[in-house]
Copies of this chain bind each other. A is one copy, B any other.
């Protein structure tokens, strides 16, 4: 036994799966039908992240946002989520560009483990 299914985790995963952009803790809480503690959400998301179910993107505001991982993961290698993100300065939405992968060779001696590629500006909806 390692990981257990719970209503809270189901609900969080449901919300993230149905969203077409990355969600912050607050945004997830607001969309939750089931009610549970704030700390629980932190632990759920951290857990999901470690399992490779979701990935985290940090915006210019320093706030974490989470999105489900679309790319395939093997048991031996979780995908790296080294793709581009776009945060709208107007509406606050953080988009995942899953197909816009960024492959960079690190300078000698630097070993890459996580990626946080984000651009900020205005999204199409806010560009009228």
Q: What is A's interface to B at a CB cutoff of 8 Å?
A: 56, 58-64, 84, 86, 89, 95, 97, 100, 102, 104, 106-124, 127
Contacts and interface: CB of A to CB of B under 8 A. Distances in A.
Contacts of A122: 110-111, 113
Contacts of A104: 84, 100, 102, 119
B110 A124 contact: yes
B102 A113 contact: no
A79 to B, nearest CB: 15
A62 B60 contact: no
A123 B109 contact: yes
Given A84-B104, A109-B127, A119-B106, A114 B60 contact: yes
